[in-house]
Structure 1
Amino acid sequence: MTVPQPAPESLRGPGLRERLAAGPVVCGEGYLFELERRGYLQAGAFVPEVVLDHPEEVAALHRQFVHAGSDVVEAFTYYAHREKLRIIGKGDILEPLNRQALEIARGVADSTGTLLAGNICNTGVYDPADPVTHATVREMFTEQVGWAAEAGVDVVIGETFRWLGEAEIALEVIRAAGLPSVLLLVAGQEPVTRDGVAIAQACRELAARGADVVGLNCVRGPATMLPLLGPIAAAVDVPVAALPVPYRTHPEQPTFHALRDRGPTTPPEGLPFPTALDPFTCHRYEIADFTRRARAAGVSYFGLCCGAAPHHLRAMAETLGRTPPASRYSPDMSKHVYLGADPRLRPSNREYRTLL
C-alpha cells in the first residue's frame, strides 16, 4: 500500500507553528451537532457514521467552515474510536470510517490551502486507578493517530479531555508520531480536571510535556469559559486555545449540560441538552465580543465547538481582522426595506421603521 504523504507547502501553506507565530489561527469545529441538526447524524451515541453514509455532506460542511474563515480542516473522527463503535455494534467500520474521514478532510484542505488536522478525543474508558484502561486508551489513540499520520496530517487535535491523565496519554501518542499537537481540556461545573488538577495547572503540565497548543474546548459557553483563559495564558509559554460552545451559559449554569429551559414543553430527555438547546444559542455579536475579550486574555488559537454554525465562525474570523470569502455576504442593513437608511429607499418605508 502506498502511504499518502503530506501535501507540499504550495498546497497547504505554512504549518501550525508558523501560522501561530504570524497571528491567530481559527479552527472550525462542531460537526456532531451541525450534522445532527441537518439530519445526517443520530443524537445519543453521536457516532459519525455520516462519514461513510453521506461523505458529500461532510465535505460540504468542511468547505462551509473554511468559507467562513477556518484555517483548519479537522477530520471528522471525533467519537470514531473503538469504544464508541463497540457500543453501537459496528466495530468493523472503525478503520474505514477513520480513513474516509481523513481522505475527505485532506481533499478540502489541499484545495483550500488550509491545515489538515487529525482528531482524537475522550474515550469513556480511562480510569486513573486501573492501568489496564490506560493501555486500552493508548491502543485506541495509537491506531487513530497512526491513520492520521499515514494521511499526512499537519497536526493532531486531542480534545474534550476531563482527565489530565488521559490527555497526557494522547499527547504521548501524538508526539511519538512526530506530529504537532493541540491538547484541549474540559472545565466542567468546577474549573478542575477529574483528577483534581486546576485547569491552568493541567494546561501547564501538558505544555511542559511538549504540547504545541493547550487550552479548553466544549461544555462551557463564552461567558463561563472566558474567566478561565487569562490564568491559563499566565501559566504557560505556548499558544492558548479557546473553543467554547455557542450557548448562553452563566455562573449558576456554567455548562451547557446544566442549562434549564422554562419553555412550555419538556424535551423527551427531560433536559435541554443535547437536543433542545436552541433557545440558549448565542448570536454572532456575542461570539464577536467573546473573540475580542479572549484575544485580550492571551488566546491565539480560536474556534467554536458543539452548536457552532458558519455564521458564528465568520463573526470570529472577522473580529480577528480576517476577510474570509463569506464576508462578501456579511450583514449590511443600509438597504433593508424597513431598516435601511439609503436615500434610494422609498420614503413610505419610514412609517414601517417607526413600528419596529
Structure 2
Amino acid sequence: MSNKFLELLSKRDWLLADGATGTNLFDVGLETGDSPELWNIEQPEKIYNLQKAFVDSGSDIILTNTFGGTRNRMKLHKMEDRVAELNAAAVEITRRVADSAGRPVIVAGSMGPTGDIFEPVGSLTRQEGIDAFREQAVALAGAGADVLWLETISAPEELEAAVTACSETGLPIVTTLSFDTNGRTMMGLTPSNFARKVKELSPVPVAYGANCGVGASEMVAALINMAMAAEEGDILVSKSNCGIPEYVDGAIRYNGTPELMADYARIAVDAGIRIIGGCCGTSPDHVRHMRNALDSHTRGKKPGLDEVVARLGEISNGAREQNSLGPLGSKPEAPAREGRRRGRDPKRKAADDGKFPGQL
C-alpha cells in the first residue's frame, strides 16, 4: 500500500518540517501546567491556525499536537481515559490543514516520552511502556496520520518499546532523540551510538536523527557525529531549537533569529540531512526564512565542526570529542544519573513543571 510520506521522500532531496507547538501556543493563551492536548477539543481553531501558519510558511511535514499523548502523561491531568479521543482529534485537525494545502503535506503523529523511567533504573516495565505507546499509536494511525514520529526520547529502552508498539500499525516510523547533555542524551546515549542502535530496532525506522537540544550549532554537530556511524542511504532528521532559552520577563524566550535558522537550514542540507525543521521557540516566521533559504540554496560541501561554530555558534566539548574519535571510536556510554542538570537551565525547569523540552 502506498504511503504519502514515503512517496514524498522518494521525490524530494529534502523536506521541511514545522516548528514549535508549545511555545507558540503559550503566545495565544496556553498556561503553564495546562495540557496542550486538551486544546485539540477545547481550542481546535488555535491548533488549526498555528499549523496552517506553518504550512503557509512552507512546511512539508506537520506534527500533531500530541507530544504528551500517552496515558502516562495524560494521567497528570486526570485524562488517562481520553487518550484515543484527544489523539484522534489532533490528527483530524492536522489532516484538515494538510488536505487543504494545495500541495503534498504530511501529517506526522507526534509521540513524546512517557515521562517515566524504565526498569531497571526506574519502575516502568517494558510491557507497560509498549502498552502505553500502542494505545497512542493506534489512535493516531486510525485517525489518518501518514507517519508516526517519536521525538525527544533519551533512553534506548524507551525507544525500543515505542518502536515495537508503533510497528503494529504498519505506518512508517521516524525517531529523534534529544542530545542536550554535553553531546549526549540525558540518559547518556551519543549520536554515533544511536545511529548503530537504531539498526537493531524492529522495524528499522525510515528516518532518524535529533530534535530539541541546546541550539542549532549543537544540533548540526550531533548530526555530523551521527552521520559518521550512519549507513549509506540513511535518512537523517534535524529539528533544532531556535537558539538558546532565556528567561525574559518571567517567560522562556529563545534567542535564535530568523536569519540564524535560515543559515542552520542551509548548513544542515549541506551536511546531508534530508528532513530539516525547528523545535522549541521556532515560529512560522522562522520557518518561512528556512524555506526561502532552502529553495534558493545550492548544495555545498559537507561542513566540518569549525565551520559549524563559525556560522552557528559554539558547541560542547562532548560534541567535539565525539567528532575527533571517529565513527567507531566512541567512548563507553556515560551512566545515567537521575536528575542530571535538572533545574539548572530553563529547559530542565520546564521538565520539572510537567513539560518536556520538545513540547515547548
> Quick check: 1:58 aligned with 2:32?
no
Structure number with larger C-alpha Rg:
1
Residues 216-256 of structure 1: CA deviation (Å, up to 9, x unaligned): 101321122221111212221311111111024xxxxxxx4
Equivalent residue for 1:223, pick from 217, 225, 244? 217
Tell which deviates more after alignment, 194-203 or 155-164. Answer: 194-203
Q: Which runs of 5+ in 2 are unaligned?
A: 298-360
Residue number in structure 1 paired with 2:182:
190
Q: Letter of the aligned partner of 1:200 in structure 2? A: S
Q: Indicate yes or no: 2:69 matched with 1:75.
A: no
Distance in 2, Cα, partners of 1:134 & 1:227: 32
Q: Which residue of 1 aligns with 2:205?
A: 211
Query: Aligned residue for 2:252?
Result: 276
Cα distance in 1 for residues equivalent to 2:252 and 2:36? 19
Q: Identity rate of aligned residues, in percent?
A: 26
Query: What is the correspondence of 1:92-111 to structure 2 with a 5 Å cutoff?
Result: 92-111=81-100
> In the TM superposition, what are the counterparts of 1:3-152 in structure 2 within 5 Å?
14-16=4-6, 18-19=8-9, 22-39=12-29, 41-44=30-33, 46-112=35-101, 113-129=104-120, 132-152=124-144
Equivalent in 264, 276, 280 of residue 302 of structure 1: 276
Report deviation, 1:286: 0.4
**TM-score (ref. length: structure 1):** 0.75
Over 3 Å counting, the alpha-carbon distance change for 1:70 and 1:207 in structure 2 is farther
Q: Deviations over 1:86-113 (max 9, x none)?
A: 1122334332211111111111122223
Cα deviation per residue 1:321-354 (whole Å; 9 max; x = unaligned)?
179xxxxxxxxxxxxxxxxxxxxxxxxxxxxxxx
Q: Which residue of 2 aligns with 1:319?
A: 293
Q: What's the offset of the Cα at 1:45?
A: 5.2
Structure 1 residues 118 and 276: CA distance shift in structure 2, 3 A: closer
For 2:287, give the aligned amino acid. Answer: L
Runs (4+) of structure 1 exceeding 6 A deviation are none
Q: Secondary structure at the match of 1:48?
A: helix
2:156 corresponds, among 161, 164, 175, to 164
> Conserved in 1, the CA contact under 8 Å of 2:216 and 2:240?
yes
Question: How many equivalent pairs are there?
Answer: 290
Displacement of 1:80 in angstroms is: 2.1
Q: 1:246 aligns with which of 231, 242, 249?
A: 242
Greater shift, 136-145 or 124-133, is seen at: 124-133
Q: Distance in 2 between matches of 1:220 and 1:14?
A: 32
2: distance between equivalents of 1:203 and 1:155? 20
- 1:207, 1:213 within 8 Å by CA — same for their partners in 2? no
Deviations 1:189-235 (A, max 9, x none): 22223443322211331144211111110132112222111121222
Rate the CA distance shift 1:235–1:69 in 2: closer, same or farther, 3 A: same
| Cα distance in 1, alignment partners of residues 55 and 68 from structure 2 | 22
Asked whether the equivalents of residues 92 and 144 of structure 2 are also in contact (C-alpha less than 8 Å), the reply is no
- Closer/same/farther in 2, CA of residues 191 and 245 from structure 1, 3 Å limit: same
- The SS at the match of 1:116 is strand
